[in-house]
């Protein structure tokens, strides 16, 4: 099985006061594996690096890794590290609710479609950290032009790449991996759409959410 090394820090929920570090870390990693946040073949950081990322002792991390290995969730090998196993039988045990939770139903019951934007105007420019106002002077234009020219000269190779309109698939898969590991968002590449900018993104959202007129 190919092993993809995770370059992102895994997001972990806060530890309850009445739970030990070992049981908390075990539950978090086990949940991430069962819910697909840690995909099969994903290689975990070394125990020393993992401990440093989350402020834990290396002994705690090693203990949890050994328990996960004993239960078949991961495989460990000296010199190769620790990676997630493919657990088809375990994945089937994940609880899937047929009806949404109460708080979701409550929100859906009171949801009203937003009205179309009226008199939309640009915000005052020049404020710090303002969206839509990039630092053009800092953009590496020379490097960007060199890369673009190099790609344009070999356009036949990537022009034939299969595309379904949602964007370059390897890029969408990389975004999915980042969201899963670093942000705790469970999704797949088919739910990712790569757009050219904020304007196109808002246009697509408006077409989906807003009623005509």
Report yes or no on 41 lying in a domain: yes
Render 181-203 in DSSP notation, one character per residue. Answer: HHS-----GGG----SSHHHHHH
Residue 143 has a pLDDT of 94
Let me know if residue 80 belongs to a domain.
Answer: yes
Model confidence pLDDT, tens digit, residues 47-69:
888 888 888 898 999 899 988 98
Q: How far apart are the C-alpha atoms of 168 and 166, rounded to whole Å?
A: 7
Residue 77 within any structural domain of the chain: yes
Q: The domain containing residue 70 runs over which residues?
A: 4-91
Q: The domain that contains 72 carries what CATH number?
A: 1.10.10.10
Mean pLDDT of 155-177: 78
Q: Residue 5 gets which letter from DSSP?
A: E
Domain presence at residue 62: yes
Return mean pLDDT, the chain.
Answer: 78
Note the pLDDT of residue 125: 59
Q: Is the pLDDT of residue 198 over 60?
A: yes
Burial class of residue 130 in the structure, from the number of CB atoms within 10 Å of its CB (0-12 exposed, 13-18 middle, 19+ buried): exposed
Looking at 55-127, which runs of residues are DSSP E strands?
74-77, 81-84
Number of domains forming the structure of the chain = 1
Distances in whole angstroms, Cα of residue 73 to Cα of each of 37, 42, 101, 156: 13, 12, 29, 43
Domain presence at residue 28 = yes
Q: What is the pLDDT of residues 117-165, one digit of tens each?
A: 555 555 555 667 766 677 788 889 999 999 989 888 876 666 666 667 8
Asked, for residue 151, whether it belongs to a domain, the answer is no
Residue 3 has pLDDT above 70, yes or no: no
* Residue 14, in any domain of the structure: yes
Residue 91 has a pLDDT of 43
Q: Report if residue 12 sits inside a domain.
A: yes
């Amino acid at each position: 099985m190919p092993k993809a090394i995770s370059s992102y820090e895994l997001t972990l929920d806060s530890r309850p006061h009445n739970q030990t570090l070992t049981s908390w870390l075990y539950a978090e990693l086990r949940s991430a594996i069962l819910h697909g946040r840690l995909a099969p073949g994903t290689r975990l950081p070394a125990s020393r690096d993992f401990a440093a990322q989350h402020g834990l002792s290396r002994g705690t991390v090693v203990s949890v890794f050994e328990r996960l290995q004993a239960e078949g969730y991961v495989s460990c090998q000296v010199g190769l590290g620790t990676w997630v196993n493919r657990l088809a039988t375990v994945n089937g045990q994940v609880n899937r609710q047929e009806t949404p939770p109460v708080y979701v139903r409550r929100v859906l019951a009171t949801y009203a479609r937003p009205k179309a934007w009226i008199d939309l105007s640009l915000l005052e420019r020049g404020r710090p950290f303002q969206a839509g106002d990039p630092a053009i002077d800092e953009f590496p234009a020379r490097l960007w032009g060199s890369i673009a020219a190099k790609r344009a000269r070999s356009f036949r190779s990537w022009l034939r790449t299969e595309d379904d309109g949602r964007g370059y698939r390897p890029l969408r898969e990389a975004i999915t991996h980042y969201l899963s590991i670093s942000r705790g968002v469970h999704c797949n590449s088919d739910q990712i759409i790569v757009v050219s900018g904020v304007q196109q993104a808002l246009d697509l959202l408006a077409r989906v959410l807003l009623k005509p007129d």
